[in-house]
Amino acid sequence: MPTFKYAKLVRDNIPSFHEEAGHTIVSQTLTGKALSNALIEKLHEETDEINNALDQAALIEEIADVQQIIHDLCATNNISKKALDEVITKKSARKGGFLQGSYIDTVTMPNEDDEWVTYCRRSPEKYPEIK
């Protein structure tokens, strides 16, 4: 009998699909921080799948999965849609969105005391310093 390791969060009805097919599953119910962490892992998985979408229909399916995860992540962390939308609006007004496609390769900062130098150095894996 083949056994496959899933080790991931699945949509709520997936366990019953396996049971109805006569499969034996070993599962658990996640709550609280464990659920939030699993949702974040799932978000990474689904965003990777967006990259592999072969057509418009598949792209829509994967974006829908990402939206569902964001919705559920907000719910598990008591974040209302209104609160989320307010932050989106505020950030968009100040920093803009992403539709213009602005892509920065490197930034040279002539002043060591610049707040952006400190910001970037706090996350060297995200902003590696070129020497």
Residues 4-53 have pLDDT tens digits of: 899 999 999 999 999 999 999 999 999 999 999 999 999 999 999 999 99
Both structure tokens of 1: 């009998």
How far does Cα 123 stand from its chain's mean position?
A: 19
Domain range summary for the chain, segments of one domain joined by + = 30-121
Handedness of CA 38, 41, 46, 49 (dihedral sign): negative
Handedness of CA 61, 66, 72, 78 (dihedral sign): negative
pLDDT band at 78 (very low <50, low <70, confident <90, very high): very high
Residues 93-127 have pLDDT tens digits of: 999 998 999 999 999 999 999 999 999 999 999 99
Mean pLDDT value across residues 71-89: 96
Mean pLDDT value across residues 63-77: 96
Q: What is the pLDDT of residue 24?
A: 95
What's the DSSP call for residue 129?
Answer: P
CATH topology of domain 30-121: Helix Hairpins (1.10.287)
Angle between helix 32-51 and helix 56-76 axes, rounded to 10 deg: 160
Nearest C-alpha neighbor of 47 from the set 36, 39, 56, 55: 39
Q: How many residues does the chain have?
A: 131
